[in-house]
Structure formats: structure tokens, C-alpha cells
Structure 1
Amino acid sequence: MNQPVSVFFTGMDSFDAEQLTALFNDANRRAGNHVSLSKDQGSATALVIDVDTLYGHMTWLGAQNSGQTLVALTSGATASADYVLHRPVTMEAMRAVVNELGKGHGAAPKASAVEAPAAQPTPSIEKPAPTAHPATAPSIRADEAAKASTNKPEIVVPSSAAASPAQVDVVPAAIAAPVPPAKPRERRLIDVLLAGDLAAGPHKLELPGLPVLALDLGQKVFLCGSGIKPFLPHTKPTLTADAWQPLSGAEFSALRKSMGGTQPLSRLIWLAALGGSESVLHDAEPDARYKLTKWPQIEREFPKHFRIATAMMKGYFTPEEFAQQSGATVEDVREFIAASLATAHAEVEPKAPSDDATPSPPRGLLGRLRGGR
């Protein structure tokens, strides 16, 4: 027997959640109200996750073995999920996902090659982009995409207009009120790195009184000598869109020589999550337990995190328990867990399935990261 479908929006700020919820409610009403809004993440059959944020990325990692359908909200070109909603989210795209969830009763779909339909002139969070981005994971089947793209907004004409043929004034069609444009989101270094939405090629970030941070997302490297700790201050401030300056290949090569070489981008992601998490494990269950699955490269520069890592290698425990075992503060432990989750060095203890739940085939986190769902 299929389970009733419920959706929970997570990994995003309250403003974005409100706008998307309004869009969802309208799309769901048009589709026949087959999907409900869940009151919490744990009881939802489907999660809409903003994977461009640190908190959303950690939520996505933690939900890999949950059995829930995952819908990725992103500004990037790709995302690994059952469905993908590209910003700006249009009514047609939301309706396509709602229709698919309603038909599948929350079950993950089989892979296909089509994402949510391209933007149409219907109410949306922002002005639709001219073309749709390709997605790693599908949103709907090809036949449904074609059908959805031809649907027109529901037109409701007041009865008084129909009863008065002599009336000269044309009564405008009643459609859902447009959702106000989303406010610009505050973005720290970790948000930029996880979204991966810098233009192609090398870029540099120059902040007052700090060393230059140069990176190339395409090559998955950043310029750094032997230590990454000097870049910790770069992880704290909010970055504007024009903070990143493009570099030519020659400029990047010259900086590489002067700065001592390159480091894997994963090390910078770890550092950015460490400094940008503010000791918060967003959307974490109060009793969530964590474990370190592989050792990060931190021995020399972060001695207190070395002690935390040693404790986390022993098994699943809460942040408070790790703090007692390592002698670190709970805040330091949470920062370390956030960094380790962002780089897949740690995992959340899977919850035991309920008696009436259908067990899903086991699949490791690494396998999901490599091959999607």
C-alpha cells in the first residue's frame, strides 16, 4: 500500500521557504491536492533541499539513506537528487514535481533524461531564465514534460461576467498572485564553494588585511602552500557577488609559483564549513549521533580537532559526548562535525527502520556521491 505523500522544505532560510511554500500550495491545488505539507523533516516522504547552502548540503548528505525522495533546489547546472528545481523556480517546474510526487506517492522515480519543464510565462519567484539548465538527476519523464509545458494557467471568470452578455468591459482572468522576488541571500565562502556557480576559470578573492585566495572550481584546486589555516578568516564574512575577480591562466600560474603550489579543493571546503557553520548543525535531530568515517588532513594545524577526530573514530556519539571524550567545547565539536559532513568525512547514524517500513537496498554514502541516486 502506497504511503501518503508529504513534503518538507529544508536547508533554506525562512524567506525562501515561505516563497516556495506559497508556490507549492498553488501548484498542489491545481494538481488536486494529492501532496501535503509535513510538519517536520523526519515524517516527510519527500524533502525539498536547498543544496547551495552549507546547511542544505549537510541535510542532503544526512538524507542519503533515509528512504525519502529528495528534490534539490539549486542555482547550479547539476545536482544529485531524485528531482531538480532550478532557480528561479517557475510554476510549471513546481507543478511538474508536484505531479510526479503525487503519482508516485513519495517513491523515488526511475531514472530518465528530462528535468522540470523550461520556464513559462506563469507566476514565479523570479523572472524565468531564457533556457533551462541540464540536470544530473531527472525531474519528470519526457511525456509528462511535454504535457506540462502545454498546460495553461487555470482561468476563473466571475459568474456575473458570464451572465451579462451586454457587458462591454472585459473581466481579467483570475490567476494566482505572483510570488514576490526573493531577496538576495547572504553567501559565505562555503555557500559559494558548494553552489559551484562561479564562472569558468580561475578566480581570486581579496579581502582587506588577508592573503589572496585563488581557486579554480573546474580543476578543483586552490592555491596554498603547506598550511590552510591562514585562510580561516576568509570563511567568516558575507561575500558580495563582485568579491570574486577572474584571473587569466598566466596570472593563476604566477600566483601558483609565489604561493607554493595547489591543494585539493576539498580541503578548502572543509575549512570553509568549519569557519562558516557558527557551531550550528542545521536540521539535525536533537539526539543525532555522528561518526568519523575517514581521517581529514588536520594533524599539525588544528590540534584540538585532532583530539575530536580521535574520539569520533571510536563510534557514533552525540556532540556533547564527543566534547566530554576529547576535552573540547561542544561548539568546537559541532564546527568539526559540520566540516566533516560537508566533505563526507563523517556520517549521521542511520535510524532503525520502523516495523511497517519497507527496507531499501543498502547503499554506501560514497556510492551515492559517485553515482547519484
Structure 2
Amino acid sequence: MALTLGTTGMDSATEAELHKAFQQANASHGGRWQLVPEGDADYVVVDMDSMYGPMSWLRLHAAGKQVIGLTSAARTQTDFRLERPISAAAVSLLLNQITGGSIAPAAAAPAQSVPSGMSPSPEPEDQLPEEMPAKPREDLRAPTPTAPRLPESVAAGSLAPTTIEPAAPAPVVAPPPPPAPPREKRLGDWLGANELRGKVRYQQGAGPVLLIDADARQYHGPAALKPLAGYFDGAVERESFGSIDDATFAREATSLGAPQPLSRLQWYGGLLAGQGKLLPGFDPSAKYRLSKWPQTEREFPKHFRIATAMMKGPATLEEVTGASGVPHEDVIDFVNANLATGFAEVVSEQPPEPTDTQKGGLFGRLRGK
């Protein structure tokens, strides 16, 4: 009985390239597979790197289909993964994997690969606006009293008696308030660019160890994020990060698994920072959108629904809450996390274009008569 394969969620050029590679790979498998429309296929290939790929995956997954994620990322949420760039060899390995062939699956992507949907972390400023101490105002000094001006008769040597008006007293000006003390840095602040250098180790008590390579923007640590929740509470001093040499770093990193992008920890820090309230400096009534599909963590299944609602276009936080069916506080935390990593942005309202009558003005209307 022939096995069936379909495609969806990709542009025509990608689909044509995939079909060509499939024909070559299928020939080496004795023609056991057939290429059919997605509705009739047992297995469906979805381009997870495209804008609509994740939504196609959600629809097919709900329909009980076996989904193959076409992606250049090291991991994906689909049942199978087809690595980019597309080639007959990669497709042949995939077909072997599905049918239980003896050929080994495709090798893992290089350690520096970014998980599906993620992009290199943005370059934030060294300090957030609220971290910067307010610049003290210049001292407001009382104006120096000037000598009273003598009447002309006295100045000229006249002996006529003259009344001299005293100068008005200078107004009393209150001194400027002292500058606000800078906010203590937390772990999320230290993860920004230009804050740490080289390789360091960070650990709180008996908690999980984090090996951070600040120059490579990577870290080694637990696969789950929730065990690190306590790490983002309270102030963290620079001395809390212990230096570690390259050999020790490499030895300890082996037991902690593959490197992960440091932006993942920044995302989690942003998720916890607001505790249901929007980060300082952002308008709760503004419209927000996702500039690209973010990596949704399995520990937070509701985030997929929020991301799906935000990808439809700019929307207020209330509108996203209604469209996703997720509690308002969870929506705000998700937006905070993606603002921290640059995946979310504020959409400013553009003024309406002037009409022809407005463009013409009074003189335009007069010329039309």
C-alpha cells in the first residue's frame, strides 16, 4: 500500500523545489510514496519558517494529521522535521525515518542555531530609562541684588533731598529635589548586550547551574524555564557571576546539554517582570503586533493562542484578550516578553489622508468655479 505525502503553508517556489526533491528521493525508495493534495495525505509538509506555517500546523494537528515541519531551525513542534536547505538526500532521510528505515536521521543543526521562530536577540540599551539617574538641575541661585539707581539730581551733584527706593528682595527658590536612586539590577538586566563579557557561571543556592557565554549570546542550563523563576526575583550583583575558564566551561557544559540562545532567558525575564502589568513606558491603550512568529514554549500552551491572535494584525490588549480567550494578565505578560526580545512592537496610529476637497482648500474651490 502506497504512503501519501502532501504540502501546504509555503510559496510556489518552495513547493516546486520540494516536489522535485521528493521525486528523486521516492525513486530511490522504489516509488512507495505518492504526492497527493493535503486533504488526502497521511503526512503533510508545512513550511514552519513562513508567516502562515504555524497556523497551518495548528489546523492540521487538530485534524489528526502527521505534520512534517520544513525549517532551518534546530527544533520544531511538529511530529517530524525536514531540514533546510531542501535536497533529495534530506527528503530520503525523512522518508526512511517515517517508515522505520535503517538510514540515520539528519544530523542536528550546529550549536549556534536559533530555535524555530526565534531571531538573534536585539541590542538593547545599556540601561532601561528608569535605571538612569535623573540629571540634577543646575542650582537656582537668587539673582545678585543690584545697587539702587540714584536719581539724576543726586548723580549730577545736586544737593536737593531725594528719596532712594530700596531694591525688592530676591524671591526664595526651593532647591531641586535629589536625583532618584538607580533601580537595582536584576538577572534580566544583566542578560542584555554589553553587560557581561566572556564565560561566567551563575547559580542561586542549590538551584540549577547556568553557564553563560556572553560573547556568543548562548547559555547551557535546564531545558525547562519554570525551574528558573526564582532567579529573576530580587537584585543581582556583578560579583554573583563567577568567572570560568574555557576548559572547565566545556567540561561542565557537556552534562547540561546543547547551548540555547540567551534571548530565551531574556524572554522569560520579560514574561515575569510585569506580573500582569505592562512594562514602564508602554501605553496600555495602544495597539501592538508581532513582527514575526515567536518560539512558543511548551510550558505555556496558552501563548500559542495569543500569538495566533496577534499575527492577524495590530490590536489593543483588550482585543487580543477577546480574540484569544486567554486571561488579560497572561496577554500582558506575553506582550512584555516579546517587547523585551524585539518580537512585539507598538503600532502608532497614522493620521487619515486628506480628501481632495481638503487638498484644494479655498483657492482650489475658487478655481473650480
Q: TM-score, normalised by structure 2?
A: 0.47
Q: Which has the larger radius of gyration?
A: 2
Structure showing greater relative contact order (alpha-carbon pairs closer than 8 Å, 6 or more residues apart): 1
Q: TM-score, normalised by structure 1?
A: 0.47
